[in-house]
Structure 1
Amino acid sequence: MKNIVVIGAGTMGNGIAHTFAQSGFAVSLVDVNQNSLDKAIQTITTNLDRIIAKGNLTEEEKAKTLANITTFTDLKEAAPNSDLIVEAATENLDLKLKIFTQIDELAPENCILATNTSSISITQIAAATKRPEKVIGMHFMNPVPIMKLVEIIKGYSTSKETFDEIFELSKTLGKVPTEVNDYPGFVANRILMPMINEAIETLYNGVAGVEEIDTVMKLGMAHPMGPLQLADFIGLDVCLAILNVMYDGFKNPKYAPNPLLVNMVMAGKKGVKSGEGFYDYSESKKAEKVSKMFLK
C-alpha cells in the first residue's frame, strides 16, 4: 500500500492523515469544506511542532510529513488511485452508507475500504458496497498520533486477506492492532460508554459535582482523565450517538443515554468542540479550567 485516502478532516481524520503521512505514505485528505481542510493542516503542523519540541522529530521529517499530504474537496479526484480509503466522517449511519456507496463506485477494484466508526456495524456498512470482503473497521483512538491502540473489526464478510493486510499495516504505523468482532460498540466503547453514562447519571442524581466525580476516578481509580472530562474531549454528541447505537443494537436499558446528556447535546453543549460541556472551554476560562484539572 502506498496511496491512502482519508475522508473527513475533523479531529479523527486529521489525526489519521497525520499518522499515515508521518509513516511515509502518500495521503489524500478529503473534506467537502475547504476551511476544514485548512484547519486540519494547521492542526497537523502544530502537532508536529510539539513532537519536535520534545526532541522526537526533526524539521526535515516535519517537512516530509506535510509534503506527503494533499487536500481535496472532491472525492472523485482522490479516490481513483487509492490503495486504502479510511472513512472518518461523523458517527452517523446514513452518512456512512452514502459515503461507502460512493467510494465503492470510485475506488479501484483492489482498494480496501475502512471505516473509523466507533460503534456502527461493519457488516451493515459493507452491505452498501459490492465488495463486502474488502470492508473493515479501523477504530483509531484519539489523539491518533499518540494513542497506540487500533481496534481492527471484521464484518461478517471481511476476508482473511483483508484482515491480515490491515492488521500488518497498523503495525507499520507504530500501532498495536487488536482483533475485534462486529458487535455494537466493539470493545472500547462497549466498556467505556456505560462508564461515562454512569458518571453522568451520578451527576444527574446529585451524588456529587463534576470535578468531584472526575477527581474520584482520577485519584481513586488511577484514570489519567475523569469520565466527564473525557466525555467533553470525545464530544458529547459522539457519546450520545454511540450509546444510541448500542441501545438500539442490544435493546438493553443499561445503554440508554442519560436525559442530561441528551439535553446538553440538544442545547449545543458538546464539550471541547463547542466551547462548553461539563466544563467551560471558552477562551476566558479554558486556561484556568484545564490547568486546574491537570494539577489535581
Structure 2
Amino acid sequence: MTNTVEATPPSPSLSFPATVGVLGGGRMGAGIAHAFLLKGSKVIVVERNDEAAQGAEDRVAAAVAASFARGVVDGEEHEVIARFSVSLDYAHFAQCDLVVEAVPEDQKLKTAALTAVAKHLSPHAYLATNTSSLSVSGLATSLARPEQFLGLHFFNPVPASTLIEVVVAEKSSEETVAAARRWVSGLGKTAIVVRDVPGFASSRLGVAIALEAMRMLEEGVASAEDIDNAMVLGYKHPVGPLRTTDIVGLDVRLNIAEYLQETLGDRFAPPQILRDKVAAAELGRKTGRGFYDWN
C-alpha cells in the first residue's frame, strides 16, 4: 500500500535538496532514498506497480529502523518516516529539487525512464542517473535540459558507503557539477568527479579486478575465499572482488563487462564462469548463491 503525497511547491535552495525523487525503489533506489532521508530531505519514490511500491516502502522503512537501532541518526523515527512516501505517479516529481533515476542497468530502459521523468520536472530541478557504466551523455540525448543532468553513481550499501562518483556528461553545466558536490558533501560522503568515459573510474577498476579474480578461480589458482583474502589482507580492500561481485549481482557485473568489452576491448571479456553462473541464475546474494553460498 502506497503513501499519498500532497503537492507542494519545490524549494529553490540548491545547497541541499529539500525534496528528492527516486525512480525505482529496489536495493539501490531504497538506499539512495534512505541516505537523503537521514539528512533531512523529503523523499518520494516512484515505482511501476503496487507490488514494487510496497517492496520499496518496506525496504526504506526497515533501513530507517535499523539506523535508529544502531543509534547513528538523531531525532525521532516517526518524523523521518513522515518525510517519506511512495507513489506510482510520475507527476509527484514536479515538486522535487533533484530526481535520481535508479532503474536496472539497461540503456533503453534508462533512456525511456529519464525521458518520462523529465516531462514532469520544474525548470529549476536537477536530474541524475545512477548508472554504473553506461554513457551519461548518451542518456542525455533525449532530454530538453541536458545541462541540468549528470551521473551520480552511488555504491552499495548506500548509507554505509563513503563514495559517490559524479559523472560529468558533455553538456553538464559547471553549476550542476558544483551543486552535485554540495549534495554529496551534505550526505557526509566524498565525491570524485570523472569524465563520462566507459566504466568511469570505479566500475572500470572494480570490474577489471573482479574479472581477473574470476579467471583465477576458473583456472583453479585458489579458492574464492583465498583469492578474496589476497585483496583483503594483502591490499586492505574491505571486501574481496568475488564477494563484492556477489553483493553487486553477477548479472549486473556481466552486463557491465559486456559493455566495457564492446567499448574498450577484449581485456574486459567476461570469463565463461561468469556467463555460466548467470545462465544458472546463480546471481549472488539476491538469489542465495553466486561465488559464495548466501543461504
TM-score (norm 1): 0.90
CA distance in 2, matches of 1:36, 1:20: 20
| Number of residue pairs aligned between Structure 1 and Structure 2 | 279
Alpha-carbon RMSD: 1.5
Residue 102 of structure 2 is aligned to residue 116 of structure 1: no
SS in 1 for 2:137: helix
Task: Give, in angstroms, the shift of residue 78 of structure 1.
Answer: 1.7
Deviations 1:92-129 (A, max 9, x none): 10101111111122222222110010011110011121
Q: Which residue of 1 aligns with 2:78?
A: 63
Match of 1:72? 87
Q: CA–CA distance in 2 between the matches of 1:276 and 1:7?
A: 28
* Matching residue's letter, 2:115: T
Q: Deviations over 1:126-161 (max 9, x none)?
A: 112111111100011111111111111110011111
- One-letter amino acid of the structure 1 residue matched with residue 130 of structure 2: N
Equivalent residue for 2:268, pick from 249, 255, 261: 255
**Structure 1 CA distance for aligned equivalents of residues 235 and 55 of structure 2:** 36
Please identify, of 5-14 and 266-275, the stretch whose mean Cα deviation from structure 2 is larger: 266-275
Task: Give how far 1:212 is off.
Answer: 2.3
- Render the CA deviation track for 1:13-43: whole Å, top value 9, x for unaligned: 0000011111111111011132333233333
Give the secondary-structure state (helix, strand or coil) at the position aligned to 2:116: helix
Of 205-214 and 36-45, deviating more is 36-45
- Could you tell which deviates more after superposition, 185-194 or 78-87? 78-87
Q: CA deviation at 1:74?
A: 2.4
Q: Counterpart of 1:27?
A: 43
Kindly indicate whether residue 184 of structure 2 is the aligned counterpart of residue 165 of structure 1: no
1:229-244 matches, cutoff 5 A: 229-244=243-258
- 1:181 alignment counterpart: 195
> Could you list the per-position Cα deviations for residues 201-235 of structure 1 after superposition, in whole angstroms to 9, with x for gaps in the alignment?
11111112222222222222222222111100011
Shift of 1:12: 0.7
CA contact (8 A) 1:135 1:158 kept: yes
* CA distance in structure 1 between the aligned counterparts of 2:143 and 2:236, rounded to whole angstroms: 43
- 2 CA distance for matches of 1:182 and 1:199? 26
Distance 1:113 1:53 in 2: 32
* Aligned-partner Cα distance in 1 for 2:199–2:243: 20
Match of 1:293 in 2: none
Which stretch shows the higher mean deviation, 219-228 or 8-17? 219-228
Measured in 2, the distance between the counterparts of 1:32 and 1:81 equals 19
TM-score of the superposition, structure 2-length normalised?
Answer: 0.90
Moved more, 28-37 or 232-241: 28-37
Give the Å deviation of 1:51.
2.6
**Structure 2 Cα separation of the partners of residues 274 and 128 of structure 1:** 35
C-alpha distance in structure 1 between counterparts of 2:69 and 2:18, whole Å: 29
The residue number in structure 1 matching 2:101 is 87
Answer yes or no: is 1:276 the counterpart of 2:276: no
- Unpaired stretches in structure 1, ≥5 consecutive residues: 283-296
Give the Cα–Cα distance (whole angstroms) in 1 for the partners of residues 56 and 69 of structure 2.
20
